[in-house]
Amino acid sequence: MHSATQGFVVVAEFEVKAECVRDFLALARDDARHSLADEPGCRQFDIVQMEETPERVMFYEVYDDRAAFDAHLRTPHLDRFRAGFPALIVTERPVRFGRREFA
């Protein structure tokens, strides 16, 4: 069992087509809301829209561990996001993983 401050961190970054930002954020909110409500291993799911470039969006997600993230990969809400987002973006950066040590 991890302490309250540790966690498996996932960072996903997207460059969204300017005319599609609203639709992308709606899809992202659906995924984030359901991740937090329906997945006991999901501790945090922040959607960060960059102030200087609003079409750049980052997800900062914290899970209990890798197994909790792997469970996230099999959820219906992520399937909806995966089906909808490719048409809305210019590019997706490779997902990065880390470990949170401090709250």
CB atoms within 10 A of CB 97: 10
Residue 2: the pLDDT is 45
Whether residue 1 is contained in a domain is answered as no
- Inform me whether the pLDDT recorded for 5 exceeds 90: no
Whether residue 37 is contained in a domain is answered as yes
> For residue 87, what are the domain limits?
7-100
pTM: 0.90
Whether residue 67 is contained in a domain is answered as yes
pLDDT tens for 86-103 read 999 999 999 999 998 865
CATH of the domain at 79: 3.30.70.100
Whether residue 20 is contained in a domain is answered as yes
Whether residue 26 is contained in a domain is answered as yes
For the chain, the domain total comes to 1
Question: Is the separation of the CB atoms in 65 and 41 below 8 Å?
Answer: yes
pLDDT tens for 20-44 read 999 999 999 999 999 999 999 999 9
Whether residue 2 is contained in a domain is answered as no
Whether residue 43 is contained in a domain is answered as yes
